[in-house]
């Protein structure tokens, strides 16, 4: 099989990011508990279904992220699929700031993980595996509880937030 690339190997990270940003993704806020069950969360667009039977999902986190050890230590997390119109909340969770949960409506879910009240859908999970891979860890979760409501998702495409628009 002849594989062809427009870039000589190895290509640079900027070129790879340019290619990857052409894949539209939904936006999630993944949450867990830190020390003394303080809520922790980060914006994530690397979310995918793994299996329906058993119910499993995955997402990835930068290995150097300050919150990564909390996902291992607590052993549970929630994936909050964000609705269109919640760009500002997502941006808050994308920044390395304290008090990300100030002004955010949330409740305790499975294993006390924070569940965002405004999420379009939530999946509450146990950490099944954390697999080091390059500069990230892949987190595989066993889904323990789900919830959803009507609405459209917030979408990320070519480095910008957008919405679905008309469906085909």
In the chain, % of residues over pLDDT 90: 76
Buried b / exposed e across 63-98, counting CB within 10 Å, b at 16+? eeeebbebbeebebbbbbbbbbebeebbebbeeeee
The number of angstroms, rounded, from the C-alpha of 18 to the middle of its chain's C-alpha atoms is 20
Residue 31 has pLDDT above 80, yes or no: yes
Select from 104, 143, 114 the least CA-distant residue to 127: 143
**Strand pairing partners for 121?**
81, 148
Average pLDDT, the chain: 91
The structural domains of the chain, with segments of one domain joined by +, span: 26-158
Residue 21 has what pLDDT? Answer: 87
User: Span 8-27, mean pLDDT?
Assistant: 83
Supply angle C-alpha 140, 142, 148, rounded to 5. 105
Rounded CA-CA distance 17/60 in Å is 16
**What CATH number labels 26-158?**
2.30.110.10
Residue 168 has what pLDDT? Answer: 58
Residue 7 has what pLDDT? Answer: 45
User: Span 76-99, mean pLDDT?
Assistant: 94
Residue 6 has what pLDDT? Answer: 56
């Amino acid at each position: 099989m002849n594989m062809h690339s427009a870039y000589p190997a190895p290509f640079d990270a900027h070129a790879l990011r340019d290619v990857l940003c052409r894949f539209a993704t939904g936006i999630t806020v993944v949450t867990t508990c830190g020390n003394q069950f303080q809520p922790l969360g980060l914006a994530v667009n690397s979310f995918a279904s793994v299996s329906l039977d058993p119910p499993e999902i995955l997402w990835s986190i930068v290995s150097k992220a300050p919150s990564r050890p909390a996902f291992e230590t607590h052993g549970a997390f929630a994936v909050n699929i964000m609705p269109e119109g919640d760009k500002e909340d997502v941006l808050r969770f994308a920044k390395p700031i304290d008090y990300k949960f100030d002004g955010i409506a949330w409740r305790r879910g499975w294993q006390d993980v924070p569940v965002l009240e405004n999420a379009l859908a939530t999946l509450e999970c146990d950490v099944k595996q954390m697999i080091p891979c390059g500069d990230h860890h892949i987190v595989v979760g066993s889904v323990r509880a789900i919830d959803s409501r009507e609405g459209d998702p917030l979408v990320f495409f070519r480095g910008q937030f957008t919405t679905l628009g008309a469906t085909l």
